[in-house]
Amino acid sequence: MDSFEGKVAVITGAASGIGLGMAQAFAEAGIRVVLSDVEIEALDAAAAALRASGADVHTVVADVSDAEQVQALAHASLQRYGGIDILCNNAGVGAGTMPSWHSTLDDWQWVLGVNLMGVVHGIRSFMPFLLKQRTPAHIVNTASMAGLSAGGNPVYGASKAAVVSLSESLYIELQRNRSNVSVSLLCPGFVATRILSAERNRPSSLPEASPEPASPLAAAMRQWFNEQVEQGLNPLDVGRQVLAAIREQRFYVFTHPEWLSHVEHRLHNLLQGRNPSASPLPGMEEALRRVL
């Protein structure tokens, strides 16, 4: 895309965090944005703030784990603007804990339903329209560095690893078909979002949450992760990185390039046939050493 002025972007999980950061960055570039989320009040507040800055914004409440609601989001977006240029499958939640066998089936169903099936539903619902338009279009799928490394939260990591695989396959499929649609994979590190309080949006149909480990080590881990997220990258900076990747038609978007050493560690194990081993994030070992 040589120019963004007047383009239309649909963003899920857009009421806060990375989704809102993308919306802000897109609006700065003159893109019209459709914000979608399950948090109605937060969605309305985000839209009001963007409109106050002069942005053209439309909102649609949708649960991405529900295929029919995502299909309705696609139709509502087309009805509003007549076309779609950018789709950001961004909505995500975190649940579950370690060890993995403590995670409930409700945890698995909720996290996979949003993080993985939300992307699947977005692709299935929007792709026919994007291909039919025959104009340049772009899909951004939000994964995580957790989907490229080992030793993290098993439920969340599994969902994001699946998004990585799906997105890489989708990119290759579209390239083989010389499609007008391109793809980017967003793999953020710590970003200042509300991901650690995702339980606020947990559906009543999946109420059984896994118990929090009560050990001093687990408590230290939780505190450390909370601190890292609170001090994380500004979501607007992430949005601007995504915008640059769309402009350059670049697939991988790494918000924290210094984390690639953890990906390298995993790949070395794989290529050399070694058993899996964790590669602690910077600062983690020091934080945990206090309780060991």
pLDDT of 291 strictly over 60:
no
Token digits for 181? 């649609």
3-state secondary structure of 182: strand
Token digits for 122? 């977005």
Q: Among this protein's residues, is 156 annotated catalytic?
A: yes
Phi, psi of 198 (to 5 degrees): -60, -20
Token digits for 195? 């991901």
* CB neighbourhood size of 206 (10 A): 18
In the chain, where are the structural domains located?
A: 8-212+233-259
Task: Mean pLDDT check: name the lowest of 119-133, 158-172, 200-214, 273-287.
Answer: 273-287
At residue 225, the pLDDT reads 86
**Where do the DSSP E strands lie in 103-238?**
137-142, 181-187
At residue 68, the pLDDT reads 98
* pLDDT digits 0-9 by tens, 146-170: 999 887 789 999 999 999 999 999 9
At residue 144, the pLDDT reads 97
**DSSP class of 142:** E
Determine contact, residues 263/148, Cβ cutoff 8 Å: yes
**DSSP class of 181:** E
Token digits for 49? 């703030």
CATH architecture of the region 8-212+233-259 = 3-Layer(aba) Sandwich (3.40)
The residue annotated as part of the active site, out of 81, 156, 171, 252, is 156
* pLDDT digits 0-9 by tens, 207-229: 999 888 777 777 878 888 898 99
At residue 209, the pLDDT reads 93
At residue 208, the pLDDT reads 95
Does a cis peptide bond (omega within 30 degrees of 0) precede residue 136? no
At residue 287, the pLDDT reads 64
Among 194, 178, 1, 20, which residue's Cα sits nearest to residue 85?
1
Q: In what order do the strands lie in the sheet with 57-61?
A: 57-61, 32-37, 8-12, 86-89, 137-142, 181-187, 252-254
Determine contact, residues 34/58, Cβ cutoff 8 Å: yes
* Reported pTM: 0.95
For residue 40, count CB atoms less than 10 angstroms from its CB and return exposed for 0-12, middle for 13-18, buried for 19 or more: exposed
Place of tokens 């601190």: 227
